[in-house]
Amino acid sequence: MQRQHGLTLIEIMVTISILTIVMTFVIPSTQSLLLQQRIIASLNTTSASLQFAKSHAVTNMTDVSICPTTDYVVCVKDWGQAKMVFVDSNSNNQRDSTEILLQTLPISPYGVTLTSSSDVIRFYMSGFSATPSSILFCDQSKESQYARAIFISLQGRISTSQDNNLDGVFETNAGVDLNCSN
C-alpha cells in the first residue's frame, strides 16, 4: 500500500473554490465595516473637540471657536482640512497672534468627506453657540447608509445623528434622512 504525500488535483480545486466563494462574501463586508468605522472615528474625534471647546469656553469664561484650517491661523471653508480649536477673544472667527491655540485635529481620513452649515463654530462663555450648526460626515461614494452628523443647537447642545426608525439610514433631529448626494 502506497502512502500519499500531497494533495490531489481535485482536493486543490475544491479548496480553491471554497476560498473563492468565502472571499466573495467576506471582502466587501469587511471594506464596508472599515469605511463605517473611519466615519464613526472621525465623528467621535470631532464631537470630542466640540465638547472640549464648549467646556473650555464655560470654564474659562471666554469665546472659543473651532474651524477647518490649512495653516492653524486662518479659518477656511473645507471641513475636510485639519481643524483648530482656539480662544477667539475678539470674535472675528480668525486666530490672531495673541489668541491661544487649544487643540488641533488632523485632516479627515481617506474616503471621509465633511461638510458643515457653518464655516466657524463658536461657543460663548455661557456655553451657547453663535449659530446652530451641523457637520455631515459622508463616504466618498455618497451612499446614505454611511452618513452621520453632529448637530449643535443655539443652546450649545451637541448631539449626533441616530437611526430612530431602524431603516439603516441615520436621520437629523427632525427625523429627516441624512443625504450625502447634495
**pLDDT digit string, tens, across residues 12-61:** 889 999 888 887 777 776 777 888 899 999 999 999 999 999 999 999 99
Q: Say whether pLDDT at 93 is over 80.
A: yes
Q: 40 with 67: CB under 8 angstroms? A: no
Q: 126 with 58: CB under 8 angstroms? A: yes
Residue 17 lies in a domain: yes
Number of compact structural domains in the chain:
1
The CATH number covering residue 48 comes to 3.55.40.10
Residue 2 lies in a domain: no
Q: Say whether pLDDT at 173 is over 90.
A: no
70-86 pLDDT, tens digit per residue, is 999 999 999 999 999 99
Residue 169 lies in a domain: no
Q: Which three cell numbers stand for residue 30?
A: 469587511
Q: Residue range 166-172: average pLDDT?
A: 90
How confident is residue 1, by pLDDT bands cut at 50, 70 and 90?
low
pLDDT for 182 = 66
Alpha helices, H only, the chain: 9-60
- Which among 148, 131, 128 has a CA at the least distance from the CA of 53? 128
Residue 137 lies in a domain: yes
Residue 182 lies in a domain: no
Q: Distance (Å, rounded) from C-alpha 79 to C-alpha 81?
A: 5
> Cα 157 to the chain's mean position, in Å?
18
Q: DSSP class of residue 171?
A: B
Residue 87 lies in a domain: yes
Higher pLDDT, 136 or 7: 136
107-156 pLDDT, tens digit per residue, is 988 889 999 999 999 999 999 999 999 999 998 888 888 999 999 999 99
Residue 144 lies in domain: 9-160
Q: Distance (Å, rounded) from C-alpha 81 to C-alpha 74?
A: 12
Strand 148-152 to strand 64-69: parallel, antiparallel, or no bridges (unpaired)?
unpaired
Q: Say whether pLDDT at 8 is over 90.
A: no
Q: Say whether pLDDT at 68 is over 90.
A: yes
Q: Distance (Å, rounded) from C-alpha 67 to C-alpha 95?
A: 10
Residue 177 lies in a domain: no
Q: Distance (Å, rounded) from C-alpha 27 to C-alpha 90?
A: 52
Q: 65 with 93: CB under 8 angstroms? A: yes
